[in-house]
Amino acid sequence: MVRASVSSYGHRVRWVDEAHAAYSDAVNAVRLAGVTFVRAGREILHGIDLTVGRGEQWALLGPNGAGKSTLLSICSATTFPSRGTARILDAQMGRVDLRELRRSIAVVDSRHPLRSNLPVLDIVLTGVTSTIERVPRWEPTDDERKRAEDLMSQLGVGEDPTQRWLTMSQGERGRTLIARALMTDPELLILDEPSTGLDLAARERMIATIDRLPETGVTTIMVTHHFEELPTRTTHAALVRAGRLVAAGPVEEVLTDENVSATFDHPVRIERIGGRWSARTRTP
Ligand SMILES: Nc1ncnc2c1ncn2[C@@H]1O[C@H](COP(=O)(O)OP(=O)(O)OP(=O)(O)O)[C@@H](O)[C@H]1O
């Protein structure tokens, strides 16, 4: 069912995720109801309702400071809502063992805070321990090592065994972090600006990599600033502005000139060519 409403910015927007709300949680990866988040006395998210079905590929878009990363941290069960409920992979935050839940969730963050100059294999293996650094005295099993090597080969990293974190390019780091994230065969994969700082060829390789992820059945939620970076297999989008959703639902219905212009408070024309999107200023 599609419901039309008027956003707080005076634009008519369509809410298109109501059909999902009728689903049982068994088919939902994320279900947020009335999620509000307060930090340092300031309300950053205001009553967010969002349902992400399992196997869907979502993009979160919006201006700087809109609350995308905060929303992402609630979806990854890293941050608790101040009010409202968050069900992640059928588990209600606040009522489950978070360590157990987080085993099914992997996060790829372009600002990965690794300080040690680890080789690629060791970085990928930190996906098993869910740590940034290698855990002292922890050793992978033969199967874990084999899986890490398989993923490295699939993602095209680690061919040079001397390659280490501090000397890796942004593109190599990004693909290494995706291999790391896939180590635990996650049900939910969170991607925070995975293409940041990549040159054109590296960005295109990264998008092609992300485009292959649905084959694993994983649900993805990705934050990006650029419509050009949306993988072709993106199924849904959510537009965030000033801590509120402007629109959320199937990507073709959400990424309209009207919705995107309302989100960025700027006249925007959205085009989709060959499955990829672009956005530019709409001239009268
Ligand atoms: N640690 C913090 N303490 C106080 N306020 C914060 C903190 N982190 C973020 N904020 C504020 O919360 C709001 C939302 O931030 P958030 O990082 O979620 O936005 P974003 O949409 O991801 O932004 P960007 O696109 O710039 O990364 C911003 O106004 C930001 O200033």
Ligand 1 neighbours (beta carbon < 6 A): 39-40, 44, 62, 64-70
Sign of the Cα torsion 59, 63, 67, 69 reads: positive
- Of 43, 46, 70, 79, the one to substitute when testing ligand 1's pocket (max ligand atoms within 8 A of C-beta) is 70
Question: What's this model's pTM, rounded to 2 decimal places?
Answer: 0.86
CA of 41 from ligand 1 middle (Å) equals 13
Counting from 1 in the atom list of ligand 1, the atom nearest the Cα of 62 is 21
User: Can you say whether residue 16 is alpha, beta or left, with left for phi > 0 and alpha for psi between -120 and 50 degrees?
Assistant: alpha
Q: Which two tokens stand for residue 137?
A: 């005295």
Taking only the tens of pLDDT, the chain with its 284 residues reads 333 333 333 332 333 344 334 334 568 999 999 999 999 999 999 999 999 999 999 999 999 999 999 999 999 999 999 999 999 998 888 777 888 888 899 999 888 889 999 999 999 999 999 889 999 999 999 999 999 999 998 888 888 878 899 999 888 898 899 999 999 899 999 999 988 888 888 888 889 889 988 888 899 999 999 999 999 999 999 999 999 999 999 999 999 999 999 999 999 999 999 999 999 999 87
> How many Å separate Cα 89 from the centre of its chain?
15
What ipTM, to 2 d.p.?
A: 0.95
Closest of 143, 141, 217, 206 to residue 179, by C-alpha: 206
Q: Which helix (DSSP H) or strand (DSSP E) does residue 277 occupy?
A: strand 276-281
In sequence order, what are the residues at sequence separation of 6 or more whose Cβ sits closer than 8 angstroms to the Cβ of residue 53?
20, 23, 27, 28, 29, 219
Residue with the smallest CA separation from ligand 1 atom 6 is 39
Q: Pairing mode, if any, of strands 57-61 and 236-241?
A: parallel
Residue with the smallest CA separation from ligand 1 atom 25 is 64
